[in-house]
Amino acid sequence: MVETQKHLIDHLGIEKLLSVVGGSMGGIQVLQWMATYPNKIYSAVPIATTLKHTPQQIAFNEVGRQAVMFDPDWRNGEYYGHSPPVKGLALARMIGHITYMSDTSMMEKFGRKTRADKEPFKFSADYEVEGYLRYRGDNFVKRFDANSYLYLTKAIDNFNLLNGLALNSIFEGLGAKVLVLAFKSDWLYPTYQSQEIVKACKLAGVDASYCEITSTYGHDSFLLETKQETQLIGGFLKSVTLGSGNGNQT
């Protein structure tokens, strides 16, 4: 993915990027930019991400993949021209969405509220949280391809920036300034993983800052806490622009 992005900026004649910014899978791509093209960026902002997936993170993705592949309509990926595996993909999205939230955010949003149209013991969506997850799953299949889901989740599971390297060497030669953002309630990408990124930067002599944001939204915080992120990233980018001495970056 990052190699493709590099080809694009070369094609556009962009010599150096002011910043690469992204959260979650986007943050993984930011880390790859930092490691692979350290001379092509002035700054980087990895958000709620990791140097490599833990067994638990891989496990959640594998359950989602199995949900897709167990759907008879998946047809070993050859479902184009046929009915797509919507039930499996919807279930995968429901599983994933649980990991994006937090216990607190789910309690605040749903509590134990029941639906007006509930049918006790009929295995319908009696609780608001059940209806919400089903809605999320059904809506996801309208805009996402099942095979794309499989490949994307496998790609992030296979990502390992360490890959046998010492922590102090992965960002060696990186002259960019780095701001790492994490969220206290994020249990899918817990804060210690972001702190490990900061440690790797510091060991390599990289100018890195770390900010841990208080939020109850879980992993979804990086999509919802836009005001705080705007303030932090905006101030950071101003310092990068002033420090670079060049106002013509992209």
Q: Which of 102, 186, 215, 221 is catalytic?
A: 186
| Annotated active-site residue in 105, 215, 219, 221 | 219
Residue 201 Cα to chain centre, angstroms = 20
Q: Single out the catalytic residue among 19, 24, 102, 215.
A: 24
Nearest-angstrom CA–CA distance, 202 and 103: 33
Q: Is 102 a catalytic residue?
A: no
Q: Is 186 a catalytic residue?
A: yes
Neighbours of 208 (CB within 10 A): 21
164: left (phi over 0), alpha (psi -120 to 50) or beta: left
In whole angstroms, give the CA distance from residue 170 to residue 132: 41
Q: Which residue has the tokens 């992209």?
A: 250
DSSP readout, 123-153?
TS--BHHHHHHHHHHHHHTTT--HHHHHHHH
Q: Please indicate whether residue 239 is annotated as part of the active site.
A: no
Strands 43-47 and 208-213: unpaired
Catalytic residues: 24, 186, 219
